[in-house]
Amino acid sequence: MARLQPVRGTHDILGDKAIRFRTIYEIFKQVAERYCHEEIDTPIFEFTETFKRTLGDTSDVVTKEMYTFEDRGGEQVTLRPEYTAGIARAFMSNGLQQSSPCKFYSYGPIFRYERPQKGRMRQFHQMDVEIIGVPEPQADIEVLALASDLLNALGIGAHITLELNSLGDPESRVAYRDALVNYFAGHKSKLSEDSLKRLEKNPLRILDSKDEGDRLLVENAPRIGDYYNDSTKKFFADVIGGIEDIGIKYKINDRLVRGLDYYCHTAFEFTTDQLGAQGTVLAGGRYDGLMEMMGGPQTAGIGWAAGMERLAELISEDILKNPQRPVVITPVGEAAQAPAMKMAHDLRADGIIVDMAYRGNVGKRMKRANKQNAVYAVLLGDEELSRGVAMVKNLDQGTQKEIELAELSAYLKGTNQ
RNA sequence: GCGGGUGUAGCUCAGUAGGUUAGAGCGCCAGAUUGUGAUUCUGGAUGUCGCCGGUUCAAAUCCGGUCACUCGCCCCA
């Protein structure tokens, strides 16, 4: 048994989970296309450099969470730990500056070597949305509207809050960062061990520390809003005004931050209190500095990613489509086997969902039909064959009726609705 | 990477002053009913008690290690 275990932090998606994933994806696709986003599917691995460059050498994701290996040609490659870097790379590789702005959506597996817990896997799945090449706040508004529409379409809007912040333009952000480092450096003795490290690597992160002592310090820490310059203020006001006009509820959280340098302006998280410690269900922000950092031309970008596993836990039963019920063909006797297979094939060609009752006596086969949640069982034996009919039993009503083989498809379709 | 909890049948779980053959419900299989399911009745199989080692006359039970799951921290969707 030991060796038949899935690798730690991975899971098989089947049954109810598969239905949930598919339902969510279909709704996502529908909503995204309504916003004129196009599908993009980038490779699940890239040169390690692509992620190192963009995420920075000090981030946790790069230093300890990446699945990196050398391929047979000696290249260092990494299973994608996030979407944005790969899509930005694709944007440049394909010369899409020419057709900018671009709006993308994508869905697939993401890999991070983390300690698994509820709502956190090593291979997990994200839906992703990006708008590239639009520096205007309209992109921020649209991307937030898309997120909000998606969560509402999934029926979980009521359990989720949008937390919103602006990290400002580079000038504002640098000014704030300096003020913050300055402030915390003056209180080093009261900072938690984790936050002392953050002070070096990622001072903004101290703001969302869960340590009690840190929180007291954070209370009196400088507020980012006080460091916005005029253009940042205007940009943020435009975003807020835009989502208010649309009727999206939000909460300003000036401690919501992003560690990486290429982030600017809008940062947001849609969170829930129903998933334990992993409350963020969808998160994103603006990354106008990213392309430059990757060696391309300065290009604006904004996007978000949503965690499939977390959403799948939240959505309620009633948005799940019931699987369509099949017709089950039950041959009786050796002579009926081949004609039954042929019948199944013909009915399927007509678009009817058909399964076979493979073995056993009639009782066994009926049992199987029932277990398959079939609408009808179609009995085909010597007697029926000789007369060119099939016995069609309605399993819900327990009634049955002989149908001419030529009429069978039409009969099943006609009453199937 | 750090700390806590848990690991017994396919599933949900009983089972500790260590003691003979390890249990229940659900599910599964078979029969009652060899041309009629879902109900009912009868019967059956569930298993290296996560794995390895130690203590003991004796370990599912106690101890150590290990693996997995789980909750939290870090980080993040």
pLDDT average, residue stretch A377-406: 92
For A118, the token pair is: 């509820």
What pLDDT score was predicted for residue A235? 97
* pLDDT on residue A417: 40
Residue A415's pLDDT band, with cuts at 50, 70 and 90, is: low
Distance, Å, A1 CA → B7 C1': 14
> What is the longest distance spanned by two Cα atoms in chain A?
95
When pLDDT is averaged across residues A310-337 and rounded to a whole number, the result is 87
List the A117 CA – B67 C1' distance (angstroms).
16
In this predicted model, which residue has the larger pLDDT, A138 or A295?
A138
**pLDDT for A229 beyond 90:** yes
The Å distance, CA of A4 to C1' of B57, is 38
Residue A261: per-residue pLDDT:
74
Q: Around Cβ A362, how many Cβ atoms within 10 Å?
A: 15
Output the CA angle A346-A351-A357, nearest 5 degrees.
Answer: 60
**Closest to A10 in 3D by CA, of A155, A110, A136:** A110
Q: Which nucleotide lies at the shortest CA–C1' distance from A8?
A: B68
pLDDT tens for each residue of A32-53: 999 999 999 999 999 999 988 8
% of chain A with per-residue pLDDT over 90: 59
Nucleotide closest to A390 measured between CA and C1': B35
- The conformation of residue A337, written as its DSSP 8-state character, comes to H
pLDDT-derived band at A3 (thresholds 50, 70, 90) equals low
Q: From the CB of residue A189, how many other CB atoms can be counted at a distance below 10 Å?
A: 6
Q: Between the CA of A366 and the C1' of B33, what is the distance in angstroms? A: 13
Name the CATH code of domain A2-169+229-319 (choices 3.30.930.10, 3.40.50.2000, 3.30.70.660, 1.10.10.10): 3.30.930.10
CA separation for the pair A88, A104 (Å, rounded): 11
Give the ipTM.
Answer: 0.82
Q: How many residues does chain A have?
A: 417
Residue A2 pLDDT level (bands cut at 50, 70, 90): very low
Looking across all nucleic acid strands, the nucleotide with the smallest C1' to CA distance from residue A363 is: B36
pLDDT, position A209:
83
Percent of chain A that is helix, strand, coil (3-state, to 5): 45, 20, 30
Which value, in Å, is the radius of gyration of the alpha carbons in chain A? 28
Return the closest nucleotide (C1') to the Cα of A3: B67
Strand partners, A130: A104, A303
Q: State what percent of residues in chain A have pLDDT above 70.
A: 97
* Whether A290 contacts A84, CB under 8 Å: yes
Beta strand extents in A233-339 (DSSP E only): 251-252, 264-272, 280-286, 301-307, 327-331
Q: Of all protein residues, which has its CA closest to the C1' atom of B71?
A: A117
Q: What is the pLDDT of residues A199-219, one digit of tens each?
A: 877 788 888 888 888 888 888
Q: Of A167, A165, A162, A158, which Cα lies nearest the Cα of A145? A: A162
A226 vs A168: CA distance, rounded Å: 11
Residue-wise pLDDT for A238-247, tens only, equals: 999 999 999 9
A2-169+229-319 and A327-416: same fold? no
Q: What is the mean pLDDT of residues A391-402?
A: 91
* Range with lowest mean pLDDT among A194-198, A267-271, A285-289, A329-333: A194-198
**Nearest nucleotide to A280, CA against C1' atoms:** B77
- CB–CB of A329/A378 below 8 Å? yes
Mean pLDDT estimate for chain A: 90
Distance CA A298, CA A278 (A): 34
Question: A360 CA to B37 C1', in Å?
Answer: 13
Given a contact cutoff of 8 angstroms between Cβ atoms, the answer to whether A136 and A226 are in contact is no
A269: Cβ contacts below 8 Å, ≥ 6 apart: A162, A163, A256, A280, A282, A283
User: What is the pLDDT, as a whole number, of residue A54?
Assistant: 79
**Distance (Å, whole) CA A278 – CA A348:** 44
Separation of A334 CA and B33 C1' (Å):
21
pLDDT at A58: 67
pLDDT of A250 reads 95
**Can you tell me the distance from the alpha carbon of A305 to that of A85, in angstroms, rounded to the nearest whole number?**
12
| pLDDT over 50 at A1, yes or no | no
Q: Pick one of 3.40.30.10, 1.10.3720.10, 3.40.50.2300, 3.40.50.800 as the CATH number of A327-416.
A: 3.40.50.800
Q: Could you tell me the distance in Å between the CA of residue A2 and the C1' of nucleotide B51?
A: 8
- Read off the amino acid at residue A395: L
- Per-residue pLDDT band at A189 (split at 50, 70, 90): confident
| Per-residue model confidence (pLDDT) at position A199 | 85
The runs of H, that is alpha helices, within A35-125 are 48-55, 60-64, 84-93
Burial class (CB within 10 angstroms; exposed 0-12, middle 13-18, buried 19+) of A176: buried
Sign of the alpha-carbon torsion through A272, A274, A277, A278? negative
User: Where are chain A's structural domains?
Assistant: 2-169+229-319, 327-416
Nucleotides on strand B with an atom closer than 7 A to protein CB? 1-3, 28, 30-31, 33-38, 48, 50-51, 67-77
Mean pLDDT, rounded, for A344-373: 91
